[in-house]
Copies of this chain bind each other. A is one copy, B any other.
Amino acid sequence: MQVTTLGEALYPSPLRYFVSDSLRLAERIIQRPDEKMTDNIAFELAGPREKLFFDAKNTRAGIVTCGGLSPGLNDVIRSLFLELHHAYGVSHVYGFQGGYRGLDPHLGKEPLLLTPELVDDVHKKGGTFLGTSRGPVDTAVAVQNLIDKQINILFVVGGDGTQRGGYELYKEAKRQNYPLAVVGVPKTIDNDIPFVSQTFGYLTAIEEAAKALDRAHVEARCVNNGISLVKLMGRNAGFIAAGATLASQEVNFILVPEVPFKLEGPNGFLAALKKRIQDRGHALVVVAEGAGQELLQNNTQLKDASGNIILNDIGQYLSTRIKTFFEDEDIPVHLRYMDPSYLIRSTRANAVDSVLCDLFARNAVHAAMAGKTGLIIGKMHDKYIHVPSELLASRKRVMETDGMLWHGVLASTGQPASFY
């Protein structure tokens, strides 16, 4: 699938390794007998292009980070800047501050002019040194601001909502015939953006979450009938809970959004937990924040500034239900509830995420300098690709419950395939 390119290429690149615009990577690559893959989408490969659209000397770029924290944001900003600055020679790179608000000169602070000194050590800290916020910006105001600042390239680092916003900016600029390359770097600690097999920050989150699970296991194991209940991130997809479970190998029960469950009844979760406590005297339960929403009274669906539905707190709910259940059963338990989410997402990226951030960022710069726009950098089958932004809306990425990861998780926990 080809992304929009702003116009014909103007400048030869100083680089010696190039990726051709004509290469394609298909979404479905597993060959099944007697099947024709007629509706298979194929994507451009990311990488440096031999012909550039923008003249580095006369080009200004901007970077904005939006939404919740994810390990690696500073790595991305830094590598975007360094590739623009050193490899392409773009001298003016601005960091918009405080998320999309920063694109509106009436709301935000002035953008920072980035320098090698300024970004030198930022990758050693969690968070984003540009600041972040939720919520959109007035598209017309933002594009006018970019025009005023002579910025032709905008990197938007953020999740679904952010990338939708980036797509609106691209369309507005196109409407005004202003050559604006909007390139997205997908950010979701939950790892749930379609066409991106692995988003940055996810593996760091697994690492930190697995440590929390190991400790929660210690808490449960050292007391009689100890139950540790840990809530982890994962609004729509249980990737963090599943990955951390597999890494830790200590979890007995895991509840994720992809698998609805019942609490009551002979095959419900509470009966299984009771059996575990009676048999082994301790249990470690992990719940993704988006799990079991169907159990909660959800009359008025509130949304946050990014437009995400505010979830009811399944952690607190489960905690109460477990407590009440064992009181009713007259089985004394020591229940401890832990929510390490903020402490996980604010760490700096680990090594593998740092590498990922670097490559995502450099590929974003390659795409932008070649004049590609209205796209995000994706990753599929271990390759970096160009994903048209409009495609994002068409899919949700969740964990396959008949796939290898979830199967490994079930084997590791020993829990039944469902609580029904």
Within the complex, the shortest CB–CB distance from A63 to chain B, in Å, comes to 15
Identify A359's interface contact among B15, B83, B404, CB under 8 A.
B404
User: Which chain A residues in 90-141 approach chain B with CB under 8 Å?
Assistant: 98, 101, 121, 123-128, 131-133
| Contacting pair B358 A408 (CB below 8 A) | yes
Over the window 210-226 of chain A, the binary record of Cβ atoms lying under 8 Å from chain B Cβ atoms (1 yes, 0 no) is: 10101110110111100
| Contacting pair A244 B69 (CB below 8 A) | no
Q: Are A17 and B407 also in contact (CB < 8 A) when A127-B218, A343-B338 are?
A: yes
A393 at the interface (CB under 8 A from B): no
For chain A, the bracket of interface size reads 35 or more
Of chain B, the residue at the smallest CB distance from A343 is B215
Within the complex, the shortest CB–CB distance from A106 to chain B, in Å, comes to 15
Residues of B within 8 A of A69 (CB): 218-219, 222
Q: Are A352 and B207 also in contact (CB < 8 A) when A29-B29, A218-B346 are?
A: yes
| Contacting pair B351 A203 (CB below 8 A) | yes
A246 at the interface (CB under 8 A from B): yes
Q: Are A25 and B31 also in contact (CB < 8 A) when A125-B218, A207-B352, A355-B246 are?
A: yes
A24 at the interface (CB under 8 A from B): yes
Copy tally for this chain in the complex stands at 4
Within the complex, the shortest CB–CB distance from A323 to chain B, in Å, comes to 15
User: Which chain A residues in 378-398 approach chain B with CB under 8 Å?
Assistant: 380-384
User: Which chain A residues in 353-388 approach chain B with CB under 8 Å?
Assistant: 354-355, 358-359, 362-363, 380-384
4 closest cross-chain pairs (CB), A and B = A247-B351, A381-B381, A127-B218, A127-B222
By a beta-carbon cutoff of 8 Å, the part of chain A in contact with chain B is 15-17, 20, 22-26, 29-33, 42, 45, 47-48, 69, 75, 78-79, 82-83, 86-87, 98, 101, 121, 123-128, 131-133, 197, 203, 206-207, 209-210, 212, 214-216, 218-219, 221-224, 228, 243-244, 246-249, 336, 338-340, 342-343, 346-347, 350-352, 354-355, 358-359, 362-363, 380-384, 402-405, 407-408, 411-412, 414, 417
Given contacts A23-B30, A216-B346, 9 further A-B contacts (CB under 8 A): A15-B407, A87-B411, A98-B224, A125-B218, A247-B354, A340-B343, A355-B408, A362-B407, A380-B382
List 27 A-B pairs, Cβ < 8 Å: A22-B33, A24-B30, A69-B218, A78-B249, A86-B411, A86-B414, A124-B125, A127-B221, A127-B222, A131-B223, A132-B223, A197-B382, A203-B351, A203-B352, A206-B351, A207-B352, A215-B343, A215-B346, A216-B342, A243-B355, A246-B359, A247-B352, A338-B342, A340-B343, A350-B350, A358-B408, A358-B412
